[in-house]
Amino acid sequence: MAQQRAWVRMPSGKRLDLLNPTPFDWDDADLALGLARTYRWGGHSAWPLPLSVAQHSITVMLLQRAALGRVDPLLELRELLHDAEEGLLGFDALSVIKPFLGEGFRELSKRLEQVVFLRYGLPSWTALDHARHKRADRLAAASEAVHVAGWSPEEVRSTLKIQAAVLQEDPLVALYGGTPWEPWPPALACERFLEQLRRLTTAMR
């Protein structure tokens, strides 16, 4: 039997082998565009547009910066890229279906995360760092659930099982202006994510 294709073509023309990825299989613009076109909450939104993983990633980065009380380019870059594998796959699985996707999907996602960390010179999560990250990620998720996806705060706790507080103030507004919690168009999300990625990788050098 002929070997089935396992690579996808990036907008840059590069090929990403999903089963055997390397850190050279995409460029920064490919990743930014993939994350800007990959949607959270299954693409469901109370707004005209869905919320991209790119916009969510910047939110988590800013929440972590506020929690730390300082700017740390390495930690911020890891937060910005915490869902990078989803942009390479073009798929953000709803939490309720992840158990049904099986070990193969978990291994694929982990392999992509590892090459992302290798490409950008990021250390693996320590237990403490990951716990801090999850606090910021859940805070963003609870707030997005209410302000973007239309869940009530009670449903966030009882149905989604997210116990984090629901923010009223959108951390993105202080940096970018605009309407609080409004999802950005894909082109704008791509531009802003790529700007943050380049800022942080330059600072890392």
pLDDT at 2 over 60: no
Read off the tokens for 2.
């002929």
Q: What is the pLDDT of residues 129-144, one digit of tens each?
A: 999 999 999 999 999 9
Domains in the chain: boundaries: 24-204
**Is 50 exceeded by the pLDDT of residue 103?**
yes
**pLDDT score of 26 more than 90:** yes
Q: For residue 96, is pLDDT > 50?
A: yes
Burial letters for 81-109: b for 16+ Cβ neighbours within 10 Å, e otherwise?
bbbbbbbbbeebeeeeeeeeeeeeeeebb
The Cα–Cα gap between 75 and 71 comes to 8
Given a contact cutoff of 8 angstroms between Cβ atoms, the answer to whether 79 and 26 are in contact is no
What kind of fold does domain 24-204 have according to CATH?
Hypothetical protein af1432 (1.10.3210)
Supply the pLDDT for residue 3. 64
> What is the rounded CA–CA span in Å between residue 50 and residue 42?
9
Which tens digits make up the pLDDT trace of 148-166? 999 999 999 999 999 999 9
Could you give the CA distance from residue 114 to residue 123 in angstroms, rounded to a whole number? 10
Token pair in block for residue 137: 């990620």
pLDDT at 1 over 50: no
